[in-house]
Structure 1
Amino acid sequence: MARYYVNKNSQANGDHEVHKTGCNFMPMAENRIYLGDYSSCSPAVREAKKTYSRSNGCYFCSNACHTS
């Protein structure tokens, strides 16, 4: 299980990236929302989409859920 967070700030394309603990690209504490502990990125992205419909997995730490 890993802790997942969504970035409150969107990327240039409008996506809010989902990161897991330990990612080098984790947003600052004040710029992220805790999503929960999950065994993969898929349920974390689903949870993030409840707040930000344009959520996407981080290319580096949640690549299986990253769409270009």
Structure 2
Amino acid sequence: MAQYYVNQNQQTGGEHEVHVEGCKFMPFEKNLLDLGGHKDCASALQEAKNTYDNVNGCNTCCPDCHTS
């Protein structure tokens, strides 16, 4: 299982971006909320939606979950 995080800071479009550990676009550690280990980005996004209404996968590390 991979470790996922969500950026607590909104992107310019208002969404909170989900990243997998090791992503080259990982936000500063102080801005991350640990989502735990997940088998895929879809599961991590569901977890992030427990905290934030508007979430999206990072285009680089979670392209299967990137919608905008």
Q: TM-score range by the shorter chain?
A: over 0.9
> Equivalences for 1:21-60 in 2 at 5 Å?
21-60=21-60
CA distance in 1, matches of 2:39, 2:48: 15
Question: Given residue 60 of structure 1, which amino acid in structure 2 is its aligned partner?
Answer: T
Identity value in percent: 53
The alpha carbon displacement at 1:39 in A equals 1.3
Map of 2:65 onto structure 1: 65
Aligned residues: 68
Gapped regions of structure 1 (runs ≥ 5): none
Which aligned runs of 4 or more in structure 1 are off by greater than 3 angstroms? none
Gapped regions of structure 2 (runs ≥ 5): none
Q: Deviations over 1:12-34 (max 9, x none)?
A: 00000000011001111100100
CA distance in 1, matches of 2:17, 2:59: 9
